[in-house]
Structure formats: structure tokens, C-alpha cells
């Protein structure tokens, strides 16, 4: 039995289980599920959530495994991937170095630590840096395409 048949069988079984659990939820109705949840009984919804989590883990694992297998099969692809990861690490490092952290009170009465605030600012800075880089790359590509004609 080849790998594709196994994947189809597993996907079919997970799909059938998902449909069965969904029909179970629909059959129970909103009010009954809400009342059961108020008493701490999540037995109707939990199996569907578990199936979704299993599918998510399988999808992530398959993506990572096959991506790594593809990268290690070609040294040029691996080199480009490592360079890209290095540039991303450089951008994150630069953003972290330029970020500051101040304890911040939250709406629920908790306090965001200075370290947490610094990481939030780092994430925002990384987003903006990568957006500027992407816009610059698109602009450069467009200008280069126009001038080469």
C-alpha cells in the first residue's frame, strides 16, 4: 500500500469522525450544550475539538517534515533557507535591541512585565521592518522591470 492511499484513508476516517461529532452537536442543540457547559460538562463539544487538534498537529508535522526533507535533498535550497532564517534573526535582533520595556497595567488589573512589553514592542517593530522590506522589494522589482524593457 503506497503512502497516498494511507493518507486518503486517514483523511477519510478523520472526516467521517468530524461529521459524526458535528451531527451530535447539531442534534443536541444550542440550549442543551449551553446548559451542560454551565455545569462543567463539555462532553458534546470536546470530541470535535480533539479531532480538530489532531488534524492541526498532523498538518503541522507533515508540513515541517516534508519541508525539511525537501530542503535537505538540495544543498542550494538549504543554503538559501539558512540565509533567509539568518536575515530574519538579524531583523528580530535589531528590533529587540531597539525596543524598550516598561511595566504596563492592563485592563483586567494585571501588570505586563517590562520584559513582556519589550517583546510586544519587538514584535511590532519586526512587523513594520518586514513590511518596509517587502514594499521596498516590490518597488525595486517593479522599477527594475520597467527599466529593463
Q: Give the integer Cα–Cα distance in Å for 76 and 85.
A: 14
Domain boundary among 16, 49, 73: 73
Owning domain of residue 106? 75-149
Q: What is the pLDDT of residues 57-95, one digit of tens each?
A: 998 998 999 888 888 888 898 899 999 999 999 999 999
Q: Are 91 and 84 in contact (CB under 8 A)?
A: no
Domain boundary among 73, 94, 116: 73
pTM: 0.62
H helices within 1-149, ranges in order?
3-28, 30-38, 46-72, 75-98, 114-147
Q: What is the pLDDT of residues 41-65, one digit of tens each?
A: 788 888 888 888 998 999 899 899 9
State the pLDDT confidence band at 1, using cuts at 50, 70 and 90: low
Q: Give the integer Cα–Cα distance in Å for 113 and 106.
A: 10
* 83 and 149 within one domain: yes
* 91 and 42 within one domain: no
Q: Give the integer Cα–Cα distance in Å for 2 and 85.
A: 34
Amino acid at each position: 500500500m503506497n503512502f497516498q492511499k494511507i493518507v486518503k484513508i486517514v483523511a477519510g476516517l478523520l472526516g467521517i469522525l468530524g461529521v459524526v461529532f458535528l451531527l451530535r452537536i447539531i442534534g443536541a442543540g444550542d440550549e442543551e450544550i449551553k446548559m451542560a457547559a454551565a455545569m462543567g460538562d463539555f462532553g458534546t463539544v470536546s470530541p470535535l475539538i480533539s479531532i480538530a487538534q489532531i488534524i492541526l498537529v498532523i498538518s503541522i508535522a507533515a508540513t515541517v517534515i516534508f519541508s525539511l526533507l525537501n530542503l535537505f535533498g538540495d544543498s542550494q535550497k538549504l543554503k538559501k533557507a539558512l540565509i533567509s532564517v539568518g536575515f530574519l534573526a538579524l531583523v528580530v535582533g535589531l528590533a529587540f535591541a531597539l525596543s524598550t520595556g516598561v511595566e504596563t497595567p492592563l485592563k483586567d488589573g494585571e501588570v505586563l512585565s517590562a520584559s513582556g512589553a519589550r517583546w510586544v514592542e519587538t514584535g511590532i517593530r519586526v512587523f513594520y521592518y518586514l513590511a518596509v522590506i517587502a514594499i521596498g522589494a516590490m518597488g525595486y522589482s517593479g522599477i527594475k522591470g520597467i527599466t529593463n524593457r
